[in-house]
Structure 1
Amino acid sequence: MTTTKQSAREGLTSGGTGVRGLFGAYLSLTKPRVIEQLLVTTIPAMFLAERGIPPLGLVLVTLVGGTMAAGSANALNCVIDSDIDSVMDRTKSRPLVSYRISRAHALVFSIALSVLSFAVLWAGANLLAAALALSATLFYVFVYTLLLKRRTPQNIVWGGAAGCMPVLVGWAAVENTVAWPALVMFAVVFLWTPPHFWSLAMKYREDYERAAVPMLPVVATPQQVSARILAYSWATVLSTLLLIPVTSWIYVAWAFIVGVTFLAMAHRLHSGVRRGAEVNPMKLFHLSNSYLTGLFLAIAVDAAVGLPVLA
């Protein structure tokens, strides 16, 4: 009688998963929901760089190239972290853990995606955009996944820089350079990442503890975690004000509305933790997604409408 793992391997090699199932497994390896969040910041950066609607062909090329770059990084992360994924409830159904895809095939797939991404961005946009996308992949794999993730509770703070790169890729695709508004958008996403991810890690603290990953909620008290979430939330919202010189009242008004909402939820979480009340950090996690999406949508709309900037 074969074991569960042996049966899974046999099902994979015999084609028991089917073409659709295998396609779904490879798609899952790229973490599509993470990619969606990254692309949400790419297009508005292109609109702001163009100060209008950029060529649709260039947008398509940048999105395709960016998707493949992010997918490559996520797939490589799955290869490296398969041992962690196997003991975490949140990730134990990923393709490498369930043996729907072998590690060797996943590695080849991820490298191929990275090569194709570089080629698409270089040919369809420019070398700078291609190089920035590749650097994001390398940073995510070698700095965050291999160096920081298992060693320091600051892992997501510095490792999160990889998730900020799409704004630079989008800006570079249009301008073939990186200007200060792109760096401000980079800073916004950089400061937003810790409260976003730490609220998720609060929910799945036991998962990370079981996997011996020193996420902040594993090594710090809930009060310390919520205090840092609040501090980074304030830093995020304040950093969005730096875009005022290149935007109009449309962006400013919407940034104020979504910023106040985001801060109110962060304050509510911290206040609840301090009182010892039962809190649901996933509310802040989901709201943070909506916050970033709404903020960058405002950037795109503001640039597309073309009203005079406030500066």
Structure 2
Amino acid sequence: MSDIGYLESKEGDAQLGDYIALLKPRVMSLVVFTAFVGLVVAPVPVHPFVGFIAILFIALGGGASAALNMWYDADIDKIMRRTANRPIPAGRMTGGEALGFGLGLSGISCVMLALATNVFSGLFLAFTIFFYAVVYTIWLKRSTPQNIVIGGAAGAFPPMIGWAVATGGISVEPVAMFMLVFLWTPPHFWALALFMKEDYSNAGVPMLTVTHGRKSTRKHIFAYTLILAPIAIGTGFTSIGGPVYLAVALVLNLMFIQGAWRILKRDEAAAQADSYKVEKRVFYFSLLYLFGHFAALLVEKCLDMMGVSQMFGWF
């Protein structure tokens, strides 16, 4: 249970930068990009101004989720080196300020997205915030080593929301984008957990490295990359894919599988000896991996708008 005492126990002196930090800007950038791609590749055109407003409120909704996450996790954030300097555990902001900020942004972002686009996308954003803040943060994160697997759905919803903004509904293409992010999330975070195990262990978070050990985690990373590859490549055969996407997906998935294989075959003593260089390399590559797939979808959309895909008889 989170230390609710953080609501009143500290005298906050929050600055603008602390409120920005609550939004987890680096994570938000991924939310914004995937939502933008989902909106752009949809078959229904959206006015640029409406699209900008939609992405803005989706970003604010993602930031609201992050603020609520930091409010609830303040007690474990102060224990973990990676998160100890966040605004609440560092004493620059009270838990009450973060909670109010998160709830306020949640309401504003969902209502305004619904008014600016359609009710379905606003409700979808509300469900995403609820899923991340309640299902993942409050329930799953501290109760099961499958926290990242199930909770990863929250980070996979944005491209579906972007698609819903344009179309008012869901079809196979946004589901494919969802599955790409959903299956990418576990190997991405488990690679991080391999070289951050002590943080999770000290905070009592049942990450897979803590509950099942690093050897098992390495096996899970490799297994998930094998499951992810056909889903990622298969997206190229939907209406939003094409030859450029397929080429990019083939290269990136071969590289990701190769990296996961190297992680699988690593001896723990060797990993410690070189400060987990391979694991860190795979973790950072996984960011490029996801960006590359969604960037390729944007390229395919541009080619389609220029008529290049039709010239080559694609789909």
Instruction: Report percent identity of matched pairs.
Output: 32
Q: Please tell me the residue identity of whatever aligns with 2:30.
A: Q
Would the aligned equivalents of 1:192 and 1:233 in 2 still touch at CA under 8 Å?
yes
1:231 matched to 2:231? no
Q: For structure 2, which runs of at least 5 residues remain unmatched after alignment?
A: 1-5
Q: How does 1:207-246 map to 2 (within 5 A)?
A: 207-243=199-235, 244-246=237-239
Q: Residue 152 of structure 1: SS of its match in structure 2?
A: coil
Pair 1:273–1:104, CA change in 2 (3 A): same
Q: Residue 272 of structure 1: SS of its match in structure 2?
A: coil
Corresponding residue of 2:28: 35
Corresponding residue of 1:302: 300
Q: How does 1:94-243 map to 2 (within 5 A)?
A: 94-243=86-235
Q: Please tell me the residue identity of whatever aligns with 1:105.
A: E
Q: Which runs of 4+ in 1 moved over 4 A?
A: 274-278
| Cα distance in 2 for residues equivalent to 1:277 and 1:214 | 22
RMSD over aligned CA atoms reads 1.9
| Cα distance in 1 for residues equivalent to 2:271 and 2:193 | 18
Greater mean deviation of Cα atoms: 192-201 or 271-280: 271-280
The TM-score normalised by the length of structure 2 is: 0.89
| Cα distance in 2 for residues equivalent to 1:188 and 1:43 | 15
Q: Residue 24 of structure 1: SS of its match in structure 2?
A: helix
| Cα distance in 2 for residues equivalent to 1:304 and 1:128 | 27
Q: Please tell me the residue identity of whatever aligns with 2:28.
A: I
Once the two structures are TM-superposed, the CA of residue 305 in structure 1 deviates from its matched residue by 1.3
Corresponding residue of 1:50: 43
1:23 matched to 2:21? no
Greater mean deviation of Cα atoms: 239-248 or 199-208: 239-248
Would the aligned equivalents of 1:88 and 1:208 in 2 still touch at CA under 8 Å?
yes
Deviations 1:25-51 (A, max 9, x none): 011011111111122211111222137
| Cα distance in 2 for residues equivalent to 1:107 and 1:9 | 14
Corresponding residue of 2:3: none
Q: Which of 254, 267, 270 is residue 264 of structure 2 equivalent to?
A: 270
Greater mean deviation of Cα atoms: 225-234 or 254-263: 254-263
Deviations 1:61-96 (A, max 9, x none): 121111111111110011101000011111000000
Deviations 1:252-280 (A, max 9, x none): 11111222122211111112248955443
Would the aligned equivalents of 1:75 and 1:110 in 2 still touch at CA under 8 Å?
yes
Would the aligned equivalents of 1:43 and 1:300 in 2 still touch at CA under 8 Å?
no
The TM-score normalised by the length of structure 1 is: 0.90
Q: For structure 1, which runs of at least 5 residues remain unmatched after alignment?
A: none
Corresponding residue of 1:284: 282
Q: Please tell me the residue identity of whatever aligns with 1:224.
A: S
The number of residues matched between the two structures is 296
Q: Please tell me the residue identity of whatever aligns with 1:203.
A: F
Greater mean deviation of Cα atoms: 264-273 or 228-237: 264-273
Q: Please tell me the residue identity of whatever aligns with 1:248.
A: G
Corresponding residue of 1:83: 75
Would the aligned equivalents of 1:82 and 1:97 in 2 still touch at CA under 8 Å?
yes
Would the aligned equivalents of 1:89 and 1:207 in 2 still touch at CA under 8 Å?
yes
Once the two structures are TM-superposed, the CA of residue 245 in structure 1 deviates from its matched residue by 2.9
| Cα distance in 1 for residues equivalent to 2:214 and 2:98 | 37
Greater mean deviation of Cα atoms: 89-98 or 35-44: 35-44
Greater mean deviation of Cα atoms: 192-201 or 300-309: 300-309
Q: Residue 49 of structure 1: SS of its match in structure 2?
A: coil
Pair 1:54–1:269, CA change in 2 (3 A): farther
Once the two structures are TM-superposed, the CA of residue 182 in structure 1 deviates from its matched residue by 0.5
Q: Residue 93 of structure 1: SS of its match in structure 2?
A: coil
| Cα distance in 1 for residues equivalent to 2:183 and 2:289 | 13
| Cα distance in 2 for residues equivalent to 1:302 and 1:28 | 34
1:255 matched to 2:211? no
Q: Which structure's relative contact order is higher, taking Cα pairs within 8 Å and 6+ residues apart?
A: 1
Once the two structures are TM-superposed, the CA of residue 310 in structure 1 deviates from its matched residue by 3.9
Deviations 1:259-308 (A, max 9, x none): 21222111111122489554431211111011000110000110121024
Once the two structures are TM-superposed, the CA of residue 235 in structure 1 deviates from its matched residue by 1.4
Q: Residue 229 of structure 1: SS of its match in structure 2?
A: helix
Would the aligned equivalents of 2:173 and 2:238 in 1 still touch at CA under 8 Å?
no
